Amino acid sequence: MSLAINVAMTVLVLNAICRAQSPQPPAPLPSGKTTEQVYKNIQVLKGVPADQLIPAMQFITASLGVQCDFCHLENAFDKDDKETKQTARKMMRMMFAINKDNFDGHKEVTCYACHRGAHKPVAIPVIEEEPIQSKSEDKANHEEGNAASLPDADKIIEKYLQAMGGADAVSKISTRLQKGTLTVGTAQFPVEVLTRRPASRVATVHFPNGGSVAGFNGQVGWLSTPGHGVHEMSSAEVDASQMDSYPNWATDLRQIFKELRVQQLEQVAGRPTYVVSGIRENRPPAQLYFDQQSGLLIRLLRYVDTPLGLNPAQIDYADYRQEGGVMTPFRWTVARPGGRFTIQINQMQQNVPIDDEKFAKPAASLPPEH
């Protein structure tokens, strides 16, 4: 995967473009601190690791289809001036109580369960123009018919590895330098992605007011946007960065995932794919979509766990080309509930020297008061 920090990159890009709407966590968050030890006026999410607060807020904005200013005052996020903030606290308490009393504390009921992208839940059933039951039955029958004919996961992974160029070719790639264009809506910006085996990556988006960076050096991850300094990735974002490592992804799938299960056949952009679920211990599973004909990975769907629910990220890979004996996507689209962007690569160099300092985390500024 050419951009291995896609969740972090999504946050980076959307915050850089709409940074007035987005609260920034302290830089860096003190290790082991809880939300009430770092932020002001925490009343519901007490005891939660501090680096999980921002992902939790992102889950709320995605579930309700709103921005941060729906509940918060800009540059005064601890204030309680807005009634919507009080309502949000009541709703979180209600959600926790429902899950505790009915689902043994598991996150079965979430904000999205009722809101579905609207700040006011739909309380009255909607009358569909066509019966939805028949569609569900057709899909269920289709999937049931496919189940018996699906290959096992090992065969799918082996075909993927061969489609990439084979284990030997993949293992020979030690570094990669990519340059291209990032597109958000109709706006385009230059982007550069540096990768070094086994798991160091730095992506820089060049905006008119300065460069925004998302980096991971195998130990820590960081994000920076113009005017907001540097802050560390949350533990969930670091986990996502590690899971996406390239170029060793194709050869390390069996080590990354405890178990790989073939789920079903599914169409992606009109192409039949095998959907393989990657199971990891104590982490959300990931869904990998392999093109049935070519064997290449064309979609990855994975999740960042938050105290309120799972934040999804979908990455679609396209424009595969052979470079150095390895098939590589030159275009990928990263989509989350809050938006999407596409990166198109137009220049790439492999196995070129890259200075260690390129993968060093910059010095962080002092954390602001929250």
pTM of the model: 0.79
Q: Locate tokens 């689902």: which residue?
A: 103
Q: How far is CA 316 from the centre of its chain?
A: 12
Q: Is residue 226 part of a domain?
A: yes
Q: Is the peptide bond before 49 cis (omega within 30 degrees of 0)?
A: no
pLDDT band, very low/low/confident/very high, at 14 (cuts 50, 70, 90) = very low
User: Is residue 292's pLDDT more than 90?
Assistant: yes
Distance CA 6, CA 358 (A): 19
pLDDT digits (tens, 9 = 90+) for 38-85: 889 999 999 988 888 888 888 888 888 888 889 998 888 888 888 999
Q: Which two tokens stand for residue 31?
A: 């290790």
Domain count, the chain: 1
pLDDT tens digit string along 261-270? 999 999 998 9
pLDDT of residue 25: 42
Q: Please count the other Cβ atoms lying within 10 Å of the Cβ belonging to residue 249.
A: 19
- Is 60 exceeded by the pLDDT of residue 100? yes
Count CA atoms within 13 Å of residue 345 on its CB side: 25
pLDDT in tens, 170-189: 888 889 999 999 999 999 99
Would you give the DSSP letter of residue 86? H
Say if CB 285 and CB 278 are below 8 A apart: yes
Residue type, 66: V
Lowest mean pLDDT among 226-235, 288-297, 314-323: 226-235
Tell me the pLDDT band of 281, cut-offs 50, 70 and 90.
Answer: confident
**Assigned domain for 199 exists:** yes
Whether 366 maps to a domain, the answer reads no
Domain span at residue 299?
A: 1-142+151-361
Check which CATH number belongs to the domain holding 79 and give it. 2.50.20.10
Tell which residue, 25, 44, 23, has the closest CA to residue 33.
25
Q: What's the average model confidence in pLDDT over 5-21? A: 43
How many beta carbons lie within 10 A of that of residue 155, not counting itself? 13
For residues 244-250, give the mean pLDDT: 57
Portion of the chain with pLDDT greater than 70, in percent: 81
Distance from C-alpha of 43 to C-alpha of 86, rounded to nearest angstrom: 10
pLDDT digits (tens, 9 = 90+) for 318-341: 999 999 899 999 999 988 887 889
Higher pLDDT, 240 or 290: 290
Q: Is residue 19 part of a domain?
A: yes
Q: Is residue 291 part of a domain?
A: yes
| Percent composition of the chain: helix, strand, coil (DSSP 3-state, to 5) | 30, 30, 35
Q: Is 367 within the bounds of a domain?
A: no
Q: Is residue 348 part of a domain?
A: yes
Angle (CA) 27-241-23 rounded to 5° is 35
- Is position 316 within any domain? yes
